[in-house]
Chains A and B, each alone.
Chain A
Amino acid sequence: NAGVTQTPKFQVLKTGQSMTLQCAQDMNHEYMSWYRQDPGMGLRLIHYSVGAGITDQGEVPNGYNVSRSTTEDFPLRLLSAAPSQTSVYFCASSTTGGSTEAFFGQGTRLTVV
């Protein structure tokens, strides 16, 4: 029962570097999303997807790219890291309809120096 798997757990980047945060789920969920968590601001939605080939922007999409080529995977790309992107990132998945909750990954703590 893997659920939602995020890698890496920790990452330090230099300003301007790029990287991809990986997220995979094995529950055949249509809906996947990425959040960033910052003190006092809760979880803010970056991007989300309601199925393979379909993505949309959330509340704070600038500086991030996503794609959804398969149901299982939803990677988040930082194109040119900035110190403002220092945060904890969570990936989540759920069904699009019906009465189910979202399942979360363990999180990625990213520091941009």
Chain B
Amino acid sequence: AQSVSQHNHHVILSEAASLELGCNYSYGGTVNLFWYVQYPGQHLQLLLKYFSGDPLVKGIKGFEAEFIKSKFSFNLRKPSVQWSDTAEYFCAVKLYNQGGKLIFGQGTELSVKP
């Protein structure tokens, strides 16, 4: 079965620290890849997306992600986090050949200490 795995359940960082959140998926077909963010009490918002082309994609608020096809990975990075980045982050995979079915990882809760 298709699945998405996020390596970290809860990450605690100090402001200005660098961030990397891991995401791996298991699906051999064509995929679109996403990172969504959910701030406390809010719905999901798109951070960034990969469809094709340059495997390094940039999103909002200084986030970026790198798609490594050989590793089935799509890790999220940010060079310097801020307190306002405290949120839950979800990796998601859209399965092209299954009508656009979207599968999510378990989520990573990020807490940034001021």
Binding site for B on A (CB under 8 A): 30-31, 33, 35, 40-45, 48, 50, 90, 92, 94-97, 99, 101-102, 104-107
- A35 to B102 CA separation, bound complex (whole angstroms): 10
10 A-B pairs with C-beta separation under 8 A? A31-B99, A42-B107, A43-B104, A94-B94, A96-B100, A97-B100, A99-B51, A101-B34, A102-B34, A105-B43
A94 near B43 with CB under 8 A, answer no
Cα A45 to Cα B107 in complex, Å, equals 14
Q: From B34, B44, B49, B52, name the one whose CB has the most chain A CB atoms within 10 angstroms.
A: B44
How big is the B interface, by class? 20 to 34
Which residues of the partner chain A approach B9 to less than 8 Å between Cβ atoms? 40
| B101 → A minimal CB distance (Å) | 6
B105 CB contact (under 8 Å) in A42, A48, A90: A42
**Known A-B contacts A40-B9, A42-B90, A42-B106; A95 and B43 likewise in contact (beta carbons under 8 Å):** no
- A48 and B52 within 8 A (CB): no
A109 shortest CB reach to chain B, Å: 10
CA distance in complex: A35, B104 (Å): 10
